Each structure stands twice: as C-alpha cells, then as structure tokens.
Chain A
C-alpha cells in the first residue's frame, strides 16, 4: 500500500551534489515516486506515493544515502 502524503527534502547545493541525488533516486525508485527540482541555492526532492511500510523512515534514510553518495563521488 502507498501513502498519498508527499515529503519534500531540500539539499543545499554547496553540500550535496546533483549527481549524488540522482544516483540515490535511481536506487530508491521502487519505494516512492521522486521529482527533483533545482532552485538557486538548493535542490528539492519531492517524494510521493511512498510505500506505507517505510514511510516513517524514508526521509532520514534517503538523506543519509544522498550524503554517502556525495562523499564517495
């Protein structure tokens, strides 16, 4: 089952890389729908249709994953 609520996460451009965000989205694609947008100082990622089972954790886990990808890229 999916939850219809949307989560929006902001990633500061000076701290997180776009490549890392895109790579993380690719790996998480089965768990939610992702939409990336770019503003002046940050990237925004909207998560929707999130799997109910992981709804409470997905934001934190995704942020960690993006950080790990940023550091390793």
Chain B
C-alpha cells in the first residue's frame, strides 16, 4: 500500500482477484472516492482518492474496506459460477411451467369455458339436498 496526495495505491494480483471483482468493489466506493484503474505486469493498479482531504488513518481504513469488498465480490462470483447450472435449471422449469399454462389458452380454452369450475356457486356445487334444506 502506498499513500500519497490523499490517495491510496493498491496492486491487485489478477491470479487472485478477477477484473470483475475489482469492478464490483470499485462500484461500491465510487460515490465516496475517486477511483482510477491501471495495469502493469505486477497486476491491476487501483488508486483510491478521497473526495475530501482524509487522514492517513482514514485512508488505511479505506484500503481495508476496499480489500474486504474485493473478497466479497470474489466470493459472489465464485458462488454464481458454481450455482450457474442449477440456477438455469430452476429458471427454465419456471418458464416452461408458465409456457404450459399459456399453451392451454392457445389451444382454444377461454375463461368462459370455466374448466376448473370456479364460476359455479358453492351452493350449486356442494348444495344441501331437499331434506337438509327443510331442517332447522
């Protein structure tokens, strides 16, 4: 870590943290800090500059928070990758179910047909017989 001119400079190892994780972490801080990215053979250079004048302690804290966020995003990306297939399966099944319902409509069912008998009054469906009606 290097602190100069209200700026913290970090070097991020690309073998450990992906560019996507750097973007994710950067976006979290973009309203509080000025962020500038560069690249060398050593890795991705991240410069975090305070929008106001910050103390050395505050800049060190920001560096720690940024690294934490980097780790957070790396984990999120890893989990998303691991769960990709099952997520796609769940979404496909949900879409297929929806298509199944709409396919019923396409094959000529109208709500007036009332295939589930929803429009039938309860009394007509389960109504009491004449003897029960006469009982008080």
Contacts and interface: CB of A to CB of B under 8 A. Distances in A.
Contacts of B109: none
Given A15-B19, A15-B44, A71-B23, A64 B39 contact: no
Interface string A10-41: 10101110000000000000000000000000
Contacts, number: 34
Given A15-B19, A15-B44, A64 B27 contact: no
Interface of B: 19, 23-24, 26-27, 30, 34-39, 44, 49, 51
B30 A68 contact: yes
Interface residues on A, range: 10 to 19
B35 A64 contact: yes
Nearest to B23: A71
Given A15-B19, A15-B44, A60-B49, A67 B39 contact: no
